[in-house]
Amino acid sequence: GPLDLSGAKAPANIAAAQATALATARVIADINTVQYPEGVQSPRPELNEGAKDGKFRYDRDFLLQFMSICKEKPAMLPPLEAIGLESADQAGHHHMSRTSSGR
Amino acid sequence: QEVDMEAQADGIRTVFNDPSNFNVKHPLFSPWTLWFDSPATKGRNMPQTPVSAFPQTPIPQTPGVQAAQGWMEDIKRVISFDSVEEFWGLYNNIIPPSQLPQKANYYLFKEGIIPAWEDEANKHGGKWSIQLPKDKNRGNVDKMWMYTMLAAIGETFDPSPTLGDGSAAASLITGVIVSTRPQFYRISIWTRLAPSGSDEDAALRERIEGVGRHFKTSVLGYPESARLAGPLATEVEFLSHKDSEKKGKAKKIIV
């Protein structure tokens, strides 16, 4: 059958474009005027009655809609191995290579 | 003027309209900083990288922060973010709690607040927390932590965060923590204030209990009436940081 690519990473060109878009995108000024494409739900309106200065609140169902779209690794993310932020398996692997580098 | 507004609305492209060429992002109620520590981070210095590639936000040197310096020594600042889009970019590129090494902690706090009792924003506060046995919750903890973070950054823990002067400081929540231990996980919600138990604090107590109920039912998904304490497990319980310091018997609020 056809390959299931639903879990595959976004192609590199989309990822790069996403990083650029994120860097240049401006902040939404009035959340209540944003029109989302069909099938995308807006934040629950009662959360942002009288909201101003970009101080918006978002319900979980609204936030979850971004999960599968926003996958670009943050440009400012430090090397995770260097701060020990890695799973136990990865840590064992890196530890082997680190000891051989003389640290 | 109506025409202007329409034209403006037409020019707005969210990440849903165009994932690679959007021109607006969703600001968060407050900017947040993720911190991390584990036994492997102890004594480890940040790697030497060009400053431009890896800028560090200096930690504000208030008296509270200075007092917490020992505690903060091994806690590494990972990154700050202030939009929904950036949060998910981070989330999708780090590991969930179930994969963390033992004795590790993620601390997600509002920018400018360090994850320590001594911080000005925390010192009069307390925390809601739950302890969950590891063997029974390996499959739940990642979702529970994700939902906890979403309630924090979406600012839905506290139903009335803009009461008062309308500033971010009016929100009760300062940060959320997940901890992995050999036998259990713990998830905590830190609050800016803690009720004293006196009558004047009745309104604050009610507001704090609202945070606890939201945490228990909407975030963790338990029925309000569920009793959760057991071997290695606690109820959803609130303790002020002052009472935590005392050790021994302290008044807890349970929802």
Calpha distance B88→A40 (Å, rounded): 17
- Interface test with chain B among A48, A85, A89, by most B beta carbons within 10 Å: A85
| pLDDT value for B137 | 94
Which residues of chain A lie closer than 8 angstroms to B151, CB-CB?
60
Which CATH homologous superfamily contains domain B26-254? RNA Cap, Translation Initiation Factor Eif4e (3.30.760.10)
Q: Does A45 touch chain B (CB under 8 A)?
A: no
Residue A63 forms contact with B (CB below 8 Å): yes
* Chain-chain contact of A56 with B150 (C-beta, under 8 angstroms): no
Greater pLDDT, B74 or A15: B74
In chain A, residues with a C-beta closer than 8 Å to the C-beta of B84 are 58, 63, 66, 70
Task: Identify the residue among A55, A59, A64, A90 best suited for mutation to test binding to B, counting B beta carbons within 10 A and taking the highest.
Answer: A55
Averaged pLDDT for residues A11-40: 88
Q: Hey, is A61 helix, strand or coil?
A: helix
* Residue contact B12–A35, C-beta within 8 A: yes
Domain ranges of chain A: 1-66, 78-103
Domain ranges for chain B, please list them. 26-254
Looking at residue B195, the DSSP 8-state letter turns out to be: -
CB of B255 within 8 A of CB of B239? no
Judge: B16–A37 Cβ closer than 8 Å, yes or no: yes
pLDDT-derived band at A48 (thresholds 50, 70, 90) equals: very high
Q: What is the pLDDT of residues B120-166, one digit of tens each?
A: 999 999 999 999 999 999 999 999 999 999 999 999 998 766 644 54
Q: Is the pLDDT score of A21 beyond 70?
A: yes
A54 touches chain B (CB under 8 A): yes
B226-255 exposure pattern, b = at least 16 Cβ within 10 A, e = fewer: eebeeebebbbbbbbbebeeeeeeeeebeb
pLDDT of residue B96: 96
Q: Show residues of chain B in contact with A64, CB under 8 Å.
A: 150
Q: Which residues of chain B have pLDDT under 70?
A: 1-10, 43-61, 160-169, 248
